[in-house]
Copies of this chain bind each other. A is one copy, B any other.
Amino acid sequence: MKIIIAKNSGFCFGVRRAIDLALSFSKKVGTVYTIGPIIHNPQVVKKLAGEDIKVADHACDIRSSNNVVIRAHGIPKKTMELLKKRKMRILDATCPYVTRSKKYAEELSKEGYRVVILGNPKHPEIKYISSYIPGNKILLKSESDVKKIGFSKKLGIITQTTQSPENFIKIASTLLNYSNEFKVFNTICPDAINRQKEAQRLAKKSDLILIIGGKNSANTVRLAAISKKIQPRTYHIEEAKELEKRWFKNVNTVGIVTGASTPQWIIEDVVNKVKDIT
């Protein structure tokens, strides 16, 4: 059986950077805390706990004497203000692509645009960006939500970094009916786009696709959805132990696509397990 691994696999730049920053910070100062998981991969987060990088649910769960690393998705403005007020030692590991989106959103707001953010309002990235936009903003999860918004004098549009370009263009196009003046930033992460393209390419040439990554990871969930549209035999797993022998019946080619926060060792585990059971 042939196994093809997607070209863009393993950690993306932002995830690698966040983990490296947290590790070197913890080496220097001892135990550090993130508010919410540093990245959306439970296995990596568990491993990092052994390296003195712990997860707190809320800022108030951490003592003022503790050290804090800001997760790759960023944290809401109020939480950051609270940390600063408590004079805690902070290292910001927010992904530069996410920070850039937040800067664009702030710029739009300052220039008088009603800010539209395309993405999942419950995702920490969107919570972070949205928290920096005062007043009348619009959080749009899907095209059907567009109808709910009225006509605005000026609309400024940004999108979650893990959005698919097709969705972004579809929703932004519909929004063109709702104002006469727009400023639009396509803030999809280039790495996310490359992974999506690879998922499409492999889904077309494989009998089965394994998407490896956190079930809570937006970019991984997106990859699974994109792959499933082309190859219905798409399975989203976090670890090798989830693999089932029966999935591989009549399969000649397996495509392996990984989320931006999936570590190399999980990919290797999966490849070995696939070889074992088939």
Using a CB–CB distance below 8 Å, which chain A residues touch chain B?
165, 168-169, 172-173, 176-177, 179-187
Contact = CB atoms under 8 A, between A and B. Distances in A.
A169 B173 contact: yes
Contact of A169 (B176, B183, B185): B176
A200 to B, nearest CB: 16
13 contacts: A168-B176, A169-B176, A172-B173, A179-B186, A180-B185, A180-B186, A181-B184, A181-B185, A181-B186, A182-B184, A183-B183, A183-B184, A184-B184
Contacts of A176: 168-169, 172-173, 184, 186
A182 B183 CA distance: 6
A196 to B, nearest CB: 15
A169 to B, nearest CB: 5
Contacts of A180: 185-187
A190 to B, nearest CB: 9
Contacts of A173: 169, 172-173, 176
Contacts of A172: 173, 176
A124 to B, nearest CB: 23
